Structure 1
């Protein structure tokens, strides 16, 4: 039969005999009896005071240690309960009492394991190992203890459950790391390609400034290089666009509990790089090298920012039992700050979005116009003999 995670309690209260104590005095056995009554009524703090009074006459009594430990356990003070139950087990003069103390220590360790199960699985496993050891020690002392057998099985089942979850988490983490490594590889390739294109643009720009004794020859050669560079820049732009889409998809699939890397922020940088690459491509097509270079530099900068973000260590997932008060305070602080600076921030945000929209429209219109102009030139050239497949752009070198 499958066991659930319910642990059977075993909090027996032990009575003392009053031998050797004057009848007119509050005997330890009477005090323990009163403490047991208070315990059964749920008045654990009052019960503890009765046990403490009884311990004055019987300071080494393992039974008083045991009962007081159980009261602290019921009250939720696990540290004091552990200390007292250990003393009860050490001082026990019979096997039955020692077994009871060990059993309750096992239950205590199990309670702690349940507490750490979600927020610290490794610590929970450590506590479960402690509880299973104590249940086995209980059975070594009293093999007929059915409750100890039951609880031992429950603890083992919970251990297996936590280990299985940890294994799945590790597998998911490996998969996420593999994905991150693949994304980093793609980013590095884009950075290398964009760097080479920037380098080539600078070379062409330098040659334009320096001039040459054979301008016709240089113009023909440079024109071919410019065409090749424009095509390469276009391919890099396309690859950056694909990577941005991949990052956006990853961001949408993320849930708050699995927030490892800020894919949305990384995609923001690659998106800016993609926009700058489109502008650079457009400038290259028109032969405007300074403008192309400036946009290539911006694209390269944004790609490097994306890679830096991707390289940052993954943030741990938030634990289910987080500090709610802290979150509420942070939320109130943000709301207050938002009221003070809200209009200013909103204005800046609108300006930024509007500027980006205009920039994108400008690129789209410019590219469309250039394509139409190019097609018009091509039609004219088709009527001329020996027309080149690529029409040289206007330039001043």
Structure 2
């Protein structure tokens, strides 16, 4: 489908100035310009029209023909400015109709140029083109070309609305996923803190079978916090499941959209699975902390942290913020390399690496003590 009348009509001089000699001169200027225009020599035609005296530049015909040249050169901004002046100043309604029609064409072309870059801007341009075509029909109701162009523009606008809606839904889903990732990151941070607290408490327990009253109180408090964390993890998992269930079925979608939906589905399925596992480990950790079994609780806490990390890792990697370029240039090259290496290590290293090392050392130390103690590691009776 095309807009019917993209050919822009040029006009010979319509108004005869007061001086006969000047009238001939202006007519010659317009005639030469029109001839160059017909030969598709639009830049030369524009220069020819501009040979008119400055006071004649305001003549609607001169402005109209100059606008036509700009239109053919695809300088729609300059063309619109001149067409708008013609439609506002001319008393010739036929010229006004042509100017408004061509204004519609300018905005239509502007909208088509935006289709691959800014859907909202394209829709606004096409909407403006329809407004000008309707103004043509208000003056000249029988203008079939304007009516046809309105129908074409509206069909394209309908398609644009569908695309804009899908784009908005995609942005909303992306925003929801970003928020979900932030919540998981916070869960992981809290789990890491609880694991570290557990390990610090273990360091204060000379005998794992006989925790002090203070250590017992710490473990009880950690059990409460671990239980709350499990509840929060379950709540975030419910949100992820809801997002997963709200994804549209990929059937009847274009391949690109279907691929995007499938990618979202894969991400959320991984997140739900890992959050479920994290919640299970957190429940076990809570039970162990309640029974003052700090070492076994720490093992469950570590596995919960690993599950949370895998859930977070399921999301596409966000680009890291760049340092100020001038600041980087001012730093010595060796220092920049050290910073880059440090950033890469932070980006790719699991957040629980240090905690794992501490936990393994603590577990090994506990095993050595248990071997030297009669009865091994038994359930502790709480006396606090």
Which range, TM-score by smaller chain? 0.5 to 0.7
The 1:233/1:147 distance shift into structure 2, 3 A limit, reads farther
Q: 1:14 aligns with which of 11, 19, 22?
A: 11
Indicate conservation of the 8 Å contact 1:18/1:28, yes or no. Answer: no
The 1:89/1:55 distance shift into structure 2, 3 A limit, reads farther
Q: 1:174 aligns with which of 164, 172, 175?
A: 172
Indicate conservation of the 8 Å contact 2:76/2:106, yes or no. Answer: yes
- CA deviation after TM superposition for structure 1 residue 391, in Å: 11
Alignment-derived partner of residue 120 in structure 1: 118
Whole-Å separation in 2 of the counterparts to 1:237 and 1:207 = 20
- CA deviation after TM superposition for structure 1 residue 105, in Å: 0.8
- CA deviation after TM superposition for structure 1 residue 103, in Å: 0.7
Indicate conservation of the 8 Å contact 2:305/2:352, yes or no. Answer: yes
Normalised TM-score (structure 2): 0.61
Indicate conservation of the 8 Å contact 1:194/1:233, yes or no. Answer: no
Whole-Å separation in 1 of the counterparts to 2:75 and 2:319 = 36
- CA deviation after TM superposition for structure 1 residue 267, in Å: 11
Alignment-derived partner of residue 26 in structure 2: 28
Indicate conservation of the 8 Å contact 1:31/1:53, yes or no. Answer: yes
1:69-218 to structure 2, matched below 5 A, reads 69-206=67-204, 208=206, 217-218=210-211
* Segment drifting more, 93-102 vs 54-63: 54-63
- CA deviation after TM superposition for structure 1 residue 141, in Å: 1.2
Deviations 1:181-208 (A, max 9, x none): 3332233223222212322322343455
Whole-Å separation in 1 of the counterparts to 2:89 and 2:152 = 29
Alignment-derived partner of residue 287 in structure 1: 365
Alignment-derived partner of residue 307 in structure 2: 242
- CA deviation after TM superposition for structure 1 residue 88, in Å: 1.4
- Give the alignment's Cα RMSD to 1 decimal: 4.1
Indicate conservation of the 8 Å contact 1:34/1:47, yes or no. Answer: yes
Normalised TM-score (structure 1): 0.60
- CA deviation after TM superposition for structure 1 residue 47, in Å: 0.9
User: Does 2:355 correspond to 1:277?
Assistant: yes
- CA deviation after TM superposition for structure 1 residue 21, in Å: 5.9
The 1:170/1:10 distance shift into structure 2, 3 A limit, reads same
Alignment-derived partner of residue 337 in structure 1: none
Alignment-derived partner of residue 315 in structure 1: none
Q: 2:295 aligns with which of 230, 242, 266?
A: 230
- Structure 2 SS opposite 1:27: helix
Indicate conservation of the 8 Å contact 1:113/1:127, yes or no. Answer: yes
The 1:267/1:151 distance shift into structure 2, 3 A limit, reads farther
Alignment-derived partner of residue 49 in structure 2: 51
Alignment-derived partner of residue 367 in structure 1: none
- Number of residue pairs aligned between Structure 1 and Structure 2: 286
Deviations 1:268-324 (A, max 9, x none): 658522333332331221237xxxxxxxxxxxxxxxxxxxxxxxxxxxxxxxxxxxx
Unpaired segments ≥5 residues, structure 1: 289-369, 393-397
Whole-Å separation in 2 of the counterparts to 1:235 and 1:130 = 63
Whole-Å separation in 2 of the counterparts to 1:32 and 1:184 = 67
Indicate conservation of the 8 Å contact 1:18/1:29, yes or no. Answer: no
- CA deviation after TM superposition for structure 1 residue 155, in Å: 2.0
